[in-house]
Structure 1
Amino acid sequence: MPFGNDPPDYVHLRSNESQMQLITISENGDTPTPSGSPCFNAPARDEAPAVIFMPGKGTFRWWKTRTTMEKCLIPVILFFLILSVILLAVIINTDKRIEAKMVDKATETDTDTRSPPHEDPRVRPPDLDAEFTTVTPVLTTEKPQEPEVCTSPGCVRAATHFLNAMNMTVDPCEDFFEFACGLWNEQHPIPDDMFGYGTFAYAREQVRQQLRVLLEQEHTSDSESINMARSTYKSCMNKTQLDELKTEPLFETLTELGEWPLLQENWDETKFNLTHLLVDSRRDYGVDVFFQLYIYADSKNTSRNTLFIDQANLALGRGTRDYYLNVTLFSSHMTAYRKYLRKIAQLLKTDGNLTRSEKDMNADIEKIIDFEIELAKIIVAEDERRNNTRLYNKKEIADLYSLLPQVEWVTFFQSIAPADLKHLFHNQTEIIICEIEYLRQVSALIASTDKGLLTNYVLWRVVQSNVRYLDERFDDIKQDFLKVMTGQQQSAPRWKDCAQVPSTVLPLAAGAIYVQAHFQESDREEAIRMIVHLRNSFADLVRKNDWMDDETKKVAIEKANSMINNIGYPDVTNDWKQLDQQYQGLEIQESDTYYYIMKKSVVWMQSREFQKLIKPFDKHEFDISPAVVNAFYSPEKNAITFPAGILQPPFFSGTFPKAVNYGAIGAVIGHEITHGFDDQGSQYDKDGNLHNWWSESSLNAFDTRRRCIVEQYGNYTVPKTTFRVNGKLTQGENIADNGGVKEAFQAYQKYVLENGEEPRLPGLQQYTNEQIFFVSYAHFWCGKKKEAAAMQQVLTDEHSPEVFRVIGVLSNMQAFADVYKCARNSPVNPDHKCIVW
């Protein structure tokens, strides 16, 4: 369960991916992303505003006493530290009596420091001014004094982020998203090579750029896997070679698979064998068509791995069935899909000097689309697949023959498995079937479809999966398609795609060079400390709630305390020998073509997955690239993962004030912890087993609160569209968001109680640190999407649109309303609140 939004499935490494792999190539910064040219389409520069704090005139007296050399050097030093000359001057060599008088003067004359109606300024302790009350009568008034302001580089950097984002003309109780993000959204238009842009995407773009620099280094590493990562990037960037090869590699693939009838004058259907076709597509290209196969932990015994069979994904990706079925709303999208398929087929026909008529090709394309529409009708919608017990049906391979008899199942498994594991597959081999009725229906569909159309569809899925590894003509075709599907206006520079490919093929190797160059161990240690505090905060919420019985509370806290923490990077990335062992059997040469590298990598990855059948399930495996900007929770592992990529500004820094860190990355940590107790995570126990550990009364109470969240978010309409959020599909992420922010705020309050109030941010000292906490949380979600992308998100994504990840959460928090003194029943302080945790 990732924290950030997932990318469209049609840009993944494989059309259908095993859910445990989590290694994807995505577009426009929606998870590990890519796209390409040396011209980096950079976001607006993160320049510092005028953050200047001027307590009084003593500053200028001090300046006059400086030497000429000092006057030259001090501004230069302060410029690189982004600090004000005047700020440092006040802190150094200022007498307490003079300072007190000057502060009093500053409060009378400084017309630029204004307190909003929600200000709660700190008042200086009275004993500091006591000796002056009798000597200087003017001070007996005890006027409120400026709060202490933090002037460290970390504080200035954090303040800069917020000052460049906030629209302070907006009442935070009316629209907190606009209050926290209005200026950022206005000043950061969506780049033409992206379909959305926000602070999350900004961080991902930064990581991509950093990876690009590291991968382009002409350096031979002592680690062979790191050398392979650089070779993969360079092969992807070798446009000259791609232009020379053109479609030759893909035609070799089509020949291996028995030719694509769509392109052939006289296709020989006597050679058709569905089992062999599905074997070759899966084993050599990682493409699942009528069903998905993956290997992962047995949900009811997570000490072991087992086989799973699930329903298929459509060509447009997971969760896209509405595009096929709602003709009224999505006719333009399906037209774009037809054109996409047609242009690819036409280009292959031209390159292959083939003679099949355009009329016959178009007729076949229409049949492919119609067939996929029929397939969409029998696919179960994702919002109906949240009961994991329903999806757990333990069977044997022999049972598959009665459900989908068109496949010779034992032959299929033995053919795609490594040679040394063929003996594992026979009629009595255990398998978990997720959607039994789906298999029956897809069998009926296959039985009523002719061999030529079945072959056309399977081959189309293989072609679709592999054209991304060809020359740029196919990028242009894809761009026309994406313009309709997501609103993206132009292709991204090639280096963006290529910089992310090593994180897909060799995730730990690419992560190792990133961590070595850009991640500090002190940040990892700080994140670990925060996790401890957030976990304790969740336990406090459980203890204090009034809807769980004591025994269920005890089990819930035990589960939270048992969570495995994967922070920053796995230790193996610091040991070249161990790192290379992770990629034993994968050989990538500098001379390999990009297409061949990707084919070789898919075959190697699948072989590695099958080897897991003879090993225990590794709950401590850190299988995410450290260079990913996202966070994850695995219910089977009961593990939370925070790669180094997300532990960076503007979300986190060891130099940031705690209010900033707890509001941003603290809420992310809380979000992932709460995933263990959302509508799906709550179905698993502390050992990751699918097991009901709830008492009946507590489960009923949880269900009531869960349904409140479903209804609340289901009533939100996406801006600039008529679409409502799918409250049922997004409920898990919404529960995690709500719990995460609450846990983070409570943890921050506890920190202040134990350590005292922090100084305030410069330039924002009119806002309390508790108010800044919520600004920091909202800042995580600043940004916007193209209308088509927003519509796609509502249809396919388990995450709510960013604006509702802010407004929805804060409108359920009384603490937010109290901190900002929001009137009862104001937009962000409704009387009715949905509270789960």
Structure 2
Amino acid sequence: MVTNDHLQHIMARNAENDSQMQLVSMEDSNASCTVTPTSVSPRLSTVLSMQHIEINDIHFAPRMTYKTASGKPLLQWWRRRTSLEQFFVLLTFLMTAAIIILLALFLHLNDDIANSKKKIFGNNDNNMIAYDDVEKRVCLTKGCIQAANNLLMAMNLSADPCDNFFEYACGQWNRDHMIPDDMFAYGTFASVRENVRQQMRVLLESDVSPESRSIKMTRIAYQTCMNTSKLESVKSSQFLSSLRQLAKWPLLNDNNEWDDNSFDLTYILASSRRYFGNEIFFQIYVYADAKNTTRNILYLDQGALGLGRGSRDYYLNTTMFAKHLNAYKKYQLNVIKLLLDDANVIYNLSQLITDLNNIINFETKFAEIIVPEDDRRNSTRLYNGKTILDLYTLLPEVEWLTFFYQISPKSIHSSINNNTQIIVGEVDYMYNIATLINKNSNQLLANYIFWRIVHSWVKILDGRYEDIKQVFLRVMTGQQTKSPRWKECAQGAINLLPLAGGALYVREHFNSTDKKEALKMIANLQEAFKELVHESDWMDEETKKVAIEKAVRMINNIGYPDFINNYTALDKHYEKLNFTAEDSYFELLRKILIWSQEKEFLRMKEPFDKNEFEVSPAVVNAFYSPEKNALTFPAGILKPPFFSGAYPKMVNYGAIGAVIGHEVTHGFDDQGSQYDKEGNLLNWWNADSYNGFAKRKECIIDQYSSYVVPNTDYKVNGKLTQGENIADNGGVKEAYRAYRKYVNQLGHEEPHLPGFQNFSNDQVFFLSYAHFWCGHKKEAAALQQVLIDEHSPEVFRVIGVLSNLPEFSKAYSCPQGSQLNPLKRCTVW
């Protein structure tokens, strides 16, 4: 996954963005994730991100009536097993069967392929590669057998690799793995997440007494989330009580009693942020000063819509998205009706519908002034140095000093005054939101803020609200059913206390050998990138030198931060966070929310820590931070089938190697290229060299903009996805180069994988890369991805990249002019 700006926001989607169903960055189905400044509070993203559950539930085999050796029905024995025991029994059985099948394939596949004349190496039988002069060594270790099984069982050998390599590498996988009803997408990436969540579930449900207070709190968070009986008894009462303490909301009272003069916008916005984590009209956060990354500074950026970042088209394109907007309206009406019933508020349905329509109309006008994400890729344009005093001119409706005092801990109030510096992202937006606020009544503003808070917290209320939300999600993403509770709670525990949950995970499921191997691969990938820079004919020597220095200076965060293995140090990190098993889930979330916000603001008095590991080690993703010039590969992604110390290098370099290269290249994509080796926003390019870079970027933009997303009439947004596409292309190129360098140093080719004796190892390398992206989405989710995701659909992350690589078309003997060997190619790095 790649990160853009502000890696701190990657903990997960905030409640608003969750309810907005954002497809994951790599978080969802992509191998890397771009971290951009969201328009909703990162505090809430930490607290409520457990709502993003995309992984399949475990489907067990049909009931059997076979008997054990004792003569007792096997069914009785099976029923006495826990679900986890049943899972591992089936897993053992399936692994054994897979090995037997693979060995059979190993013995017969070569003849089968030759006899059936499948198009494995090119477009006709004359392209078959002979190996009479090559030693046919075969690796039969457990790791090689597993790797071969993963690749082979995914392939559709009837497809032409030169026409559609995604279908060739993943066709059978996608047919064998249907999208579960509780998900809107499923792929190899999701399967790894499922495994990590299963492992976390076992650890969180363990009754072994933890040595660390922090780990104990992580288990309490999980157990409290799982306590649905308590949730059902509380229902929405605590939530409603907190809302009423915050303000007198028109929708919770008789509108005739509304006192327009009592409305205090500053107080409402500050309180909704501090106590509910909601940032609606603008976003405030603390992060590295992009032009002086030794220090932290305040940022102010545009807000987000109810349907999430990048969702403008849902409101503005009424022809294409009428169904989606109607689903949003029905969801809104049903949630508010239920909440009013819980609050014992008597309402007039006709008036309520009118009020809610006014909210939607207001949000549509809000959408008109939101700056599209593909117009926010110039970091220099988004860096506008101001003071708090200047904010009174931009948005005079807010009493800014009062606002900052209300959302921050008292210990830093002495550091906040009218001269305090703040970076404003969208200056024109701030003027426009001020105009929008002025044009509408206080009553409508109050109703809108009220709705946004409710919308963000719906899924942590009882099952009645979840059911309403699920009907909405069915239209927006295609997800048919709710996820099992344990999945939400396991992911929630990871997101709520990321380092504590990570400590629990790595202690059982990560080893130092994997960390050392990953570090070696990173060094090799960085060396490969340096070689590509040296060989580029469009950069002047001075710019090349600076680019190489930046690559060399990259910080590598692998697996986990070392201090989390020291429970004393880990507990100190969480020492000011306090909650107990007696708290309700709502109370627990609020305590973590307030603690995390205070911790963030305290950073204003501290230097920026470029070595901080900002995500949970249990996250299945990878990141690049431009302000840190740092790569982060959590333990969660360093897992099969992406990586294993037992796999041959051709498999590891094709999968995790391409991910590493992807992250390295992010330092030199359209956004990362704006930052220097120290992470500062500074132009280090010679003018002619940058012009060459810009031309190559445009080639990538045009290439991907020509791709039509499967099951939609939409094309990929090449402008929005350019950074990820540049990183994908560079990543595979670097990984392949690093792999060939390894082979040259070895002095001979690696042994073949079993069943792949008629494949070259280069071909297996590219299969391993494509296998990383096997997967598919529901139609609604595919459409949503086009609108909001900075990553291209998986199929284009394969064929788009490989069509630009001469090494691929050579490996598969693709004729010139075929889909994967086009006459025109795009190359940036």
TM-score normalized by the length of structure 1: 0.88
Q: Distance in 1 between matches of 2:626 and 2:752?
A: 39
Work out which of the residue numbers 737, 750, 774 in structure 2 matches 1:782: 774
Distance 1:304 1:577, change over 3 A: same
Cα distance in 1, alignment partners of residues 61 and 517 from structure 2? 29
Structure 1's 77 and 613: CA in aligned 2 closer, same or farther, altered over 3 A?
closer
CA distance in 2, matches of 1:384, 1:87: 53
Q: Quick one: which of 21, 34, 41 aligns to 2:58?
A: 41
Match of 2:213 among 208, 211, 224: 224
- Alignment-derived partner of residue 364 in structure 2: 373
Which residue of 1 is the match for residue 183 of structure 2?
Answer: 194
Q: Distance in 1 between matches of 2:141 and 2:471?
A: 48
Distance 1:688 1:157 in 2: 40
Residues 1:794 and 2:786 are matched in the alignment: yes
Distance 2:606 2:702 in 1: 43
Asked if 2 retains the 8 angstrom alpha-carbon contact of 1:121 and 1:147, the reply is no
1:382 equivalent in structure 2: 373
Asked if the contact 2:39/2:302 (under 8 Å) is kept, the reply is: no
Alignment match, 1:540: 531
Identity %: 52
Tell whether the 8 Å contact from 2:382 to 2:425 is kept in structure 1 after alignment: yes
1:249 aligns with 2:238: yes
1:8 positional shift: 9.1
Return the alpha-carbon distance in structure 1 between the equivalents of residues 266 and 450 of structure 2. Answer: 14
Q: Distance in 1 between matches of 2:369 and 2:59?
A: 44
User: What is the aligned counterpart of 2:251 among 246, 262, 265?
Assistant: 262
Look up the equivalent residue of 2:761 and give its one-letter code: N
Question: Using the alignment, how far apart are the partners of 2:165 and 2:178 within structure 1?
Answer: 20
1:425 Cα deviation after fit: 1.3
Which residue of the partner structure matches residue 151 of structure 2?
A: 162
Do the aligned partners of 1:35 and 1:494 also contact (CA within 8 Å) in 2? Answer: no
- 2:693 aligned with 1:702: yes
1:312 aligns with 303
Q: Which has the larger radius of gyration?
A: 1
Task: Give yes or no for contact 1:119–1:768 (8 Å, CA) kept in 2.
Answer: no
Question: Aligned equivalents of 1:19 and 1:246: distance in 2?
Answer: 26
Q: Distance in 2 between matches of 1:19 and 1:242?
A: 25
Question: How far is the alpha carbon of 1:147 from its aligned partner?
Answer: 1.5
Displacement of 1:79: 8.6
Counterpart residue type for residue 235 of structure 2: K
- State the AA in 2 paired with 1:816: F
Structure 1 match to 2:33: none
Contact 2:53 2:183 (8 Å CA) reproduced: no
Question: For the structure 1 residues 752 and 461, does the alpha-carbon distance in structure 2 shift closer, same or farther, using more than 3 Å as the test?
Answer: same
Offset, 1:285: 1.5
State the distance in 2 between where 1:575 and 1:180 align.
43
SS at match of 1:784: strand
- Counterpart of 1:93 in structure 2 is none
Is 1:298 the counterpart of 2:289 in the alignment? Answer: yes
Gaps of 5+ in 1: 46-75, 91-102, 126-145
Displacement of 1:521: 1.7
When residues 332 and 276 of structure 1 are mapped into structure 2, their CA distance, relative to the original with a 3 A threshold, is: same
SS at match of 1:256: helix
**What corresponds to 1:207 in structure 2?**
196
Instruction: Tell me how far 1:433 sits from its aligned partner.
Output: 0.5
When the two structures are aligned, how many residues end up with a matched partner?
766
2:614 alignment partner in structure 1: 623
Which consecutive aligned stretches of 4+ in structure 1 deviate over 3 angstroms post-superposition? Answer: 1-28, 33-36, 39-45, 76-88, 106-125
Q: Aligned equivalents of 2:569 and 2:244: distance in 1? A: 39
- Mapped partners of 1:389, 1:256: distance in 2: 41
Check the 8 A contact 1:349/1:355 in 2, yes or no. Answer: yes
Q: Match for residue 595 of structure 2?
A: 604
Q: Retained in 2: the 8 A contact 1:83–1:151?
A: no
Cα pair distance change 1:826/1:476, threshold 3 Å: same
Counterpart AA for 2:221: T
The Cα offsets for residues 193-246 of structure 1, whole Å up to 9 and x where unpaired, read as 000111111111111111111111123211111000000001001010001001
Letter in 1 for 2:778: K
Are 2:280 and 2:452, in contact at CA under 8 Å, matched by a contact in 1? yes
- Give the letter for the 1:817 counterpart: S
Amino acid in structure 2 at the alignment position of 1:826: S
Which residue does 1:335 correspond to in 2? Answer: 326
| 1:795-834 CA distance string (max 9 Å, x none) | 0000000000001000000110111110001011101000
Q: What does residue 438 of structure 1 align with?
A: 429
The one-letter code matched in structure 2 to 1:374 is: K
Provide the residue aligned with 2:828 in structure 1: 836
State whether residues 2 and 724 of structure 2, in contact with CA within 8 Å, keep that contact through their aligned partners in structure 1. Answer: no
In 1, are the aligned partners of 2:39 and 2:282 still within 8 Å (CA)? no
Deviation, structure 1 residue 267: 2.9
The residue number in structure 1 matching 2:396 is 405
Counterpart amino acid of residue 492 in structure 2: V
In structure 1, C-alpha distance between the alignment counterparts of 2:113 and 2:709, rounded to whole Å: 46
- Residues 676-687 of structure 1 aligned to structure 2 (within 5 Å): 676-687=667-678
State the secondary structure of the residue aligned to 1:391: coil
Matches of 1:411 and 1:817, distance apart in 2: 63
Q: Quote how far apart the aligned CAs of 1:23 are.
A: 4.2
AA in 2 matched with 1:400: L
Q: RMSD between aligned alpha carbons?
A: 2.7
Cα deviation, residue 353, structure 1: 1.4
Opposite residue 394 of structure 1, the aligned amino acid is G
- What's the counterpart of residue 819 of structure 1? 811
Deviation (angstroms), 1:362: 1.0
Q: Partners in 2 of 1:648 and 1:109 — Cα distance?
A: 31
Task: Please give the per-residue CA displacement for 1:562-595, whole angstroms capped at 9, x wherever unaligned.
Answer: 0000111110221101111111210120111100
Number of the residue aligned with 1:523: 514
Q: Deviations over 1:45-64 (max 9, x none)?
A: 9xxxxxxxxxxxxxxxxxxx
Q: For the Cα contact (< 8 Å) 1:8–1:317, is it kept in 2?
A: no
Residues 151-197 of structure 1: CA distance to partner in whole angstroms, max 9, x if unpaired? 00000000110111000111100110000000001111100000011
TM-score, normalised relative to structure 2? 0.89
Q: Which moved more, 1:411-420 or 1:18-27?
A: 18-27
Deviation, structure 1 residue 714: 0.4
**In 2: Cα distance, 1:461 partner to 1:483 partner:** 20
Deviations 1:84-122 (A, max 9, x none): 79989x9xxxxxxxxxxxx9xx99999699875454354
Deviation at 1:43, TM superposition (A): 9.5
Aligned-partner Cα distance in 1 for 2:102–2:712: 50
* Paired amino acid for 2:772: F
Deviations 1:724-753 (A, max 9, x none): 000000000000000000000000000000
Unmatched segments (≥5 aa) in structure 2: 5-9, 21-37, 63-91
Name the CA distance, whole Å, in 2 between partners of 1:78 and 1:804.
32
Query: Are 2:568 and 1:577 aligned?
Result: yes
Residue 167 and residue 3 in structure 1: after superposition, are their counterparts in 2 closer, same or farther (change >3 A)? farther
Which residue in the other structure is 2:79 paired with? none
Alignment of 1:410-425 (within 5 A): 410-425=401-416
The aligned runs of 1:646-661 (5 Å cut-off) are: 646-661=637-652
> Aligned in 2, Cα 1:598/1:21: closer, same or farther, shift over 3 Å?
closer
Cα offset for 1:123? 3.6
Question: 1:149 aligned to 2:146?
Answer: no
- In structure 2, the residue matched to 1:120 is 129
Q: Which residue of 1 aligns with 2:70?
A: none
Contact 2:638–2:656 at 8 Å: present in 1 too? Answer: yes
Moved more, 200-209 or 803-812: 200-209
Conservation of the 8 A alpha-carbon contact between 2:43 and 2:593? no
CA distance in structure 2 between the partners assigned to 1:194 and 1:288 by the alignment = 28
Deviations 1:376-395 (A, max 9, x none): 10010000000000000001
Distance 1:590 1:711 in 2: 55
Q: Which residue number corresponds to residue 627 of structure 2?
A: 636
SS at match of 2:766: helix
One-letter amino acid of the structure 2 residue matched with residue 243 of structure 1:
E
